[in-house]
């Protein structure tokens, strides 16, 4: 199974900041990576797929990049509604569909 590791596990930032999350796969996943945002008590919401493609309706301040085993999610200018937990998930070799453990973004 492919293991996904996210860092950091939590991050504090302020409105307007630029923040970056990292996701590392245990093997090359060929850009087969999705990012989800989850707010407390809510289901996850798809943000990006194929590492860098923005899902319809997702604000353009979200962007993704990476290749091979290492990927990043960047929020260019944090908005109040962006404080949430972010998960990466690989779909290169499934099943299982494996998620990272999440990065919690908190208000500084």
Partner 1 sequence: EVQLVESGGGLVQPGGSLRVSCAASGFTFSNYGMHWVRQAPGKGLVWVSRIHRDGSSTDYADSVKGRFTISRDNAKNTLYLQMNSLRAEDTAVYYCARLTDSMILRKHVFDIWGQGTMVTVSS
* 3-state SS, residue 105: strand
For residue 25, the 8-state DSSP code is E
**CA–CA separation, 76 and 22 (whole Å):** 15
**CA–CA separation, 69 and 37 (whole Å):** 21
Q: In the bound complex, what is the minimum distance in angstroms from residue 3's beta carbon to partner 1?
A: 13
Site map 41..80 versus partner 1, x via CB under 8 A: -xxxxx--xx--x-x-------------------------
Q: Which of 3, 10, 27, 101 binds partner 1 (CB under 8 A)?
A: 101
Tell whether omega for the bond before 8 is within 30 degrees of 0, i.e. cis.
Answer: yes
For partner 1, the closer of residues 17 and 55 by Cβ is: 55
- Where along the sequence are the contacts to partner 1 (CB under 8 A)? 31-32, 34, 36, 38, 42-46, 49-50, 53, 55, 87, 89, 91, 94-102
């Amino acid at each position: 199974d492919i293991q996904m590791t996210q860092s950091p596990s939590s991050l504090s930032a302020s409105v307007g900041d630029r923040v970056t999350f990292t996701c590392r796969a245990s093997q090359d996943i060929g850009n087969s990576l999705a990012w989800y945002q989850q707010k407390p008590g809510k289901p996850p919401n798809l943000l990006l797929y194929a590492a860098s493609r923005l899902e319809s309706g997702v604000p353009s301040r979200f962007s993704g990049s990476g290749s091979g085993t290492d990927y990043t999610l960047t929020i260019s200018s944090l908005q109040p509604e962006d404080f949430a937990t972010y998960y990466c998930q690989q779909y290169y070799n499934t099943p299982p569909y494996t998620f990272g453990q999440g990065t919690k973004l908190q208000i500084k």
